[in-house]
């Protein structure tokens, strides 16, 4: 075999998101872009804030000496300081710049954290529905993913289920809020309950369990909702995030990880994470992007535009009989599949030129994901196709 058997096996189980996106490319070539309604990939169609372009132009016109050279593996001091200042304000506690590492996106940050903390065979709890790449990232570093469902009606944390899944081998829990794929925000009370459970386990047994908070959507919250900072709520917590969504920079691969200063092991963890960032081959986050995002920590894309798209889809699809939890943030909706087999439903949707991702791709059969980070015109054009699909599966369209 030309490639490793393990990789060949994983390819066959890989992301439904990418698979459906590639199917969309084929259909666009056959039927034309205007006739395909692609709700698959969370690839924002909005442009970065104007401040990004201004800073980029300024840096191009007035380049800094040596600005493309290597730097500390953790990143530029001024960028880490800017990130630490922002997190300190959000958390209401002092986060030192030494607790920040600039990374190649949130995916890079997750791999750095998992390499730093995992011993072979240790378990990482992931909460269904979940971003499927978590399983591959955990496997990269010898870990074992353990799937635990959130509340199936609300998608909120099920603290009892999490506690019951914890074993002597549990090393970490990954959470994502606002969640991909459901869009729900976990409230501070739930996160504090989780933190209390883990603290009691640590005090009773000495067993330290990390909570890795994956937060690329943390600035995309609707209806006045607030995404609570995890540091005051969970002592053994690590934030991993990127500016792919909040600054619309997914292709630039710029993000960071931050260790809770309340964590007794923070110093040792950071030493290990800087080393892991280097030996994983990332070496350091992109130099140019570090310079730019240092000045953009309080910036964001237009959240109101995403909320308008959410409101339109929730209103229209609910009127067609689809059942869903109204998202609090991010740019995804995760309705129940009208058919028992969500993969079959997604295939049927393709006949109407609607491209979706089955819930099976998120460890949640029986649902499907809609990404709505696309042009409002495409969403509006898709509505007749949605109505035809709803009627075909027997929903009562109002």
Model pLDDT for residues 74-95, shown as the tens digit of each residue: 999 999 999 999 999 999 999 9
Tell me how far apart the alpha carbons of residues 49 and 142 are, in angstroms, rounded to a whole number: 39
Residue with tokens 């339109």: 312
- The answer to whether the CB of 140 falls within 8 A of the CB of 114 is yes
Q: What is the pLDDT of residue 250?
A: 94
Which parts of 67-125 fold into alpha helices (H)?
77-91, 105-117
Per-residue confidence (pLDDT) for residue 236, from 0 to 100: 97
Q: How do residues 45-57 score in pLDDT, each as one tens digit?
A: 899 999 999 999 9
CA-based end-to-end distance of the chain: 55
pTM, whole model, 2 decimals? 0.95
280 with 112: CB under 8 angstroms?
yes
Rounded to an integer, the average pLDDT of 274-283 is 98
Sheet strands side by side (includes 332-333): 332-333, 368-371, 357-358
pLDDT bin (cut points 50, 70, 90) of residue 13 is low
Q: What is the DSSP letter of 103?
A: E
Q: What's the whole-number mean pLDDT along residues 139-147?
A: 98
Mean of pLDDT values over 198-207: 96
Pinpoint the residues of the chain covered by CATH 3.40.640.10.
Answer: 50-293
Chain mean pLDDT for the chain = 94
Domain 50-293 in CATH 3.40.50.970: no
Locate 61 and state its tokens.
């016109």
**For residue range 357-373, what is the model confidence (pLDDT) as tens digits?**
999 999 999 999 999 99
Q: E strand or H helix at 160, and its extent?
A: helix 159-165
Q: Which CATH number is 5-48+302-392's, of 2.60.120.40, 3.10.180.10, 3.90.1150.10, 3.40.50.740?
A: 3.90.1150.10
Where, residue-wise, is CATH 3.90.1150.10 in the chain?
Answer: 5-48+302-392
Per-residue pLDDT tens for 210-255?
A: 999 999 999 999 999 999 999 999 999 999 999 999 999 999 999 9
Top pLDDT among 128 and 25 is at: 128
Residue for token pair 């990404």: 371
Distance of CA 337 to the CA centre of its chain: 22
Dihedral angle, C-alpha 84, 156, 148, 202, nearest 10 °: 50
């Amino acid at each position: 075999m030309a490639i490793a058997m393990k990789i060949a096996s994983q390819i066959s189980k890989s992301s439904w998101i990418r698979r459906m996106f590639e199917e969309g490319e084929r259909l666009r070539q056959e039927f034309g872009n205007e006739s395909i309604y692609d709700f698959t990939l969370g690839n924002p169609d909005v442009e970065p804030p104007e401040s990004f372009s201004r800073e980029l132009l300024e840096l191009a016109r007035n380049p800094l000496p040596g600005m493309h050279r290597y730097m500390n593996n953790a990143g530029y001091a001024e960028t880490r300081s800017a990130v630490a200042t922002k997190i300190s304000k959000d958390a209401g506690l002092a986060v030192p710049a030494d607790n920040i590492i600039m990374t190649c996106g949130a995916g890079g940050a997750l791999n750095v954290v998992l390499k730093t903390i995992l011993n072979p065979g240790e378990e990482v709890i992931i909460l269904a529905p979940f971003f499927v790449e978590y399983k591959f990232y955990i496997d990269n570093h010898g870990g074992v993913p353990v799937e635990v469902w959130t509340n199936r009606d609300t998608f909120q944390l099920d603290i009892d289920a999490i506690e019951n899944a914890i074993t002597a081998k549990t090393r970490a829990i990954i959470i994502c809020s606002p969640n991909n794929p459901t869009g729900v925000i976990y409230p501070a009370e739930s996160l504090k309950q989780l933190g209390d459970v883990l603290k009691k386990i640590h005090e009773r047994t000495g067993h330290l369990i990390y909570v890795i908070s994956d937060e690329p959507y943390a600035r995309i919250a609707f209806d006045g909702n607030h995404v609570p900072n995890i540091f005051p709520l969970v002592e053994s917590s690590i934030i991993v995030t990127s500016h792919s969504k909040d600054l619309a920079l997914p292709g630039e691969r710029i993000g960071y990880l931050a260790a809770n200063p309340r964590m007794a092991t923070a110093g040792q963890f950071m030493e290990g994470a800087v080393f892991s960032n280097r030996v994983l081959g990332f070496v350091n986050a992109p130099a140019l992007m570090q310079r730019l995002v240092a000045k953009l920590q309080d910036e964001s894309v237009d959240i109101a535009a995403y909320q308008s798209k959410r409101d339109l889809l929730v209103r229209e699809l609910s009127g067609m009989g689809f059942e869903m939890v109204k998202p609090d943030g991010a740019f995804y909706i995760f309705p129940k599949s009208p058919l028992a087999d969500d993969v079959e439903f997604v295939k049927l949707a393709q006949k109407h030129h609607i491209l979706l991702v089955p819930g099976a791709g998120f460890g949640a059969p029986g649902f499907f994901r809609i990404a709505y980070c696309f042009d409002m015109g495409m969403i509006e054009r898709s509505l007749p196709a949605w109505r035809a699909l709803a009627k075909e599966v027997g929903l009562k369209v109002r």
